[in-house]
Amino acid sequence: MITARLTVSPHFVVGPVNRRLFGSFVEHLGRCVYDGIYEPGHPSADDDGFRRDVIELVTELGVSTVRYPGGNFVSGFRWEDSVGPRDERPRRLDLAWHSTETNEVGLHEFAAWLEKVGSELMLAVNLGTRGVLEALDLLEYANVRSGTALSERRAFNGRAEPFGISMWCLGNEMDGPWQLGHRSATDYGKIASQTAKAMRQLDPSVELVVCGSSSAHMPTFGDWEREVLSHTYDDVDYISCHAYYQEKNGDLGSFLASAVDMDRFIESVIATADHVKAAKRSDKTISISFDEWNVWYLDRFQNEEKIAGIDNWPVAPRLLEDSYSVADAVVVGNLLISLLKHADRVTSASLAQLVNVIAPIMTEPGGPAWRQTTFFPFALTSQLAAGEVLATKLQSPYYDTELYGSVPLVDAVATHDSSTATSAVFLVNRSQDAEVAMTVDLTGFDGTILLDAQTLSDPDPSARNTLDNPERVGLSPNKTAMVRDSSVTVTLPPVSWTVLSLG
Ligand code: AHR
């Protein structure tokens, strides 16, 4: 049998596990909001029209922050449309997704929903078709207590207390030619700097995210980050990363190694940010907000017939409703491992998205809500990764991939929470046919006991949960896990994700 070994050091720490790593993303796109989190006619709807079954699943998923309201949507969005009496809110064209936005759900309703699920709002301003003044107006409306036109308007609209929003995104994917108001790095860097300075003048406590590249495969990647940060370095706290992965041309081997690409992406952005830091002789360090990441079968979407026509702007059409397999879930679990391994610099992240749209949770109008395969590694990582990420040494066999060269067959990360004296070890076996006999060496920890071991795998890596069979795939206890002396041994099935919970 193939063997691998992970040595975990209790003495060396990568960085704290920031709860914001377990964020998600709700965009006004397809059926994420309407017929997703919000469906007033649904049997489980509460008095505000939100589905209780979805609230329960989002709570179980353990989502810390939620980025909102886009995405590409935000670059055409007028925030004022989404507040005030609902029957007076305008219906608008959403050019990003060729849909109609009814504005039935806006800032107040979404903030109320976030209170129900216990998550923090991360708000994006429109820097595609709007600018500094509109961003300031939104910030005044959201965060100023009282006594000004917009804070009073908020109170009049039913919310006396400020929303108190900390995290703000300065636009979305401004490097992408598809983005409304797409700009060069220089032009975006300038407007992002002006907007950031003005927002801080109004509320110095805000944490600001400037747009990095919409993928590491953009032709401007690297130069974009350097140029944007050269304008905004002193004004922002985070630069964003976005990455989506898919299995292409049946190349499962490369797909299972997607986290290798994420590791390299993160490390390149850190290097670029630190280059700007050196050039500016700055003692400030920029963090990464990985605020869009997931498996997304983008090629499928791009090859589909698009919604089109001057008189055809549907409300909440079915868009980007990917159904996820076991292999997809293993990749999602591995991408979380990559984020955690970089916990010293990646301090915020958002799984894109949350409900129906490339999402861990699916719903049917008038019908059930269910967990996709990708739900499980996210929920357990959010639940069990706590305290600090520990330094590890991994000894693993390698395999060849078409996209990323020779990569380790196994990937892993470990966390330790001294307040509860518990640890968690997250493991992935990327082999398509071989079990891996894994040893986790915990020398240095006192008297480890195994609390639990859960694995996501299936003889059929393409198995998935569907409307007709919503519980086909789930987690199973891994009965091979056992403590021996100061090690834990466990067998990792092919194409699998595992978490060991230790006390
Ligand atoms: O998450 C779907 C889309 O992907 C977002 O709207 C956009 O920011 C990205 O390109």
Please give the Cα distance from 78 to 89 (Å, whole number). Answer: 11
Burial of 418 (0-12, 13-18, 19+ CB in 10 A): exposed
Question: Which contiguous run of DSSP H or E holds residue 401?
Answer: strand 398-401
Q: What's residue 485's pLDDT?
A: 86
240 C-beta closer than 6 A to ligand 1:
no
Please give the Cα distance from 242 to 36 (Å, whole number). Answer: 23
Average pLDDT, the chain: 97
**pLDDT category of residue 9 using cuts at 50, 70 and 90:** confident
Asked if residues 351 and 293 have their Cβ atoms less than 8 Å apart, the reply is yes
Active site residue 292: yes
Q: Which atom from ligand 1 is nearest to the alpha carbon of 172?
A: 8
Angle, alpha carbons 165-167-172 (nearest 5°): 120
pLDDT tens digit sequence for 88-145 = 999 999 999 999 999 999 999 999 999 999 999 999 999 999 999 999 999 999 999 9
Q: Which atom from ligand 1 is nearest to the alpha carbon of 352?
A: 1
264: helix, strand or coil = helix
**pLDDT category of residue 35 using cuts at 50, 70 and 90:** very high
Q: What's residue 327's pLDDT?
A: 98
Please give the Cα distance from 161 to 332 (Å, whole number). Answer: 38
Please give the Cα distance from 334 to 497 (Å, whole number). Answer: 8
322 C-beta closer than 6 A to ligand 1:
no
Asked if residues 292 and 350 have their Cβ atoms less than 8 Å apart, the reply is yes
Q: Is the pLDDT of residue 415 over 90?
A: yes
CA-closest candidate to residue 340, choices 295, 282, 384: 384
Q: What pTM, to 2 d.p., does this model score?
A: 0.97
pLDDT tens digit sequence for 330-374 = 999 999 999 999 999 999 999 999 999 999 999 999 999 999 999
Report residue 303 as tokens. 């090859």
Mean pLDDT value of segment 151-169:
98
- Integer CA distances (angstroms), 262 to 1, 81, 248, in order: 29, 37, 17
Say which of 101, 173, 227, 247 is annotated catalytic: 173
- The architecture (CATH level 2) of 2-10+390-502 comes to Sandwich (2.60)
For residues 460-489, one letter each, b for 16 or more C-beta atoms within 10 angstroms of the residue's C-beta and e for the rest, the string is: ebebbbeeeebeebebeebebbebeeebbe
Please give the Cα distance from 183 to 220 (Å, whole number). Answer: 12
Q: Which atom from ligand 1 is nearest to the alpha carbon of 294?
A: 1
Query: Ligand 1: which of 25, 31, 72, 180 to mutate, judged by most atoms within 8 Å of the beta carbon?
Result: 72
Q: What's residue 470's pLDDT?
A: 98
| Superfamily (CATH) of domain 18-384 | Glycosidases (3.20.20.80)
469: helix, strand or coil = coil
Residue ID of nearest Cα to ligand 1 atom 3 = 71
250: helix, strand or coil = coil
Active site residue 435: no
**pLDDT category of residue 10 using cuts at 50, 70 and 90:** confident
**pLDDT category of residue 447 using cuts at 50, 70 and 90:** confident
353 C-beta closer than 6 A to ligand 1:
yes
- Integer CA distances (angstroms), 493 to 95, 434, 502, in order: 45, 7, 20
Q: Is the pLDDT of residue 236 over 90?
A: yes
351 C-beta closer than 6 A to ligand 1:
no
352 C-beta closer than 6 A to ligand 1:
yes
For the chain, the domains span 2-10+390-502, 18-384
Report residue 2 as tokens. 């193939």
Please give the Cα distance from 405 to 403 (Å, whole number). Answer: 6
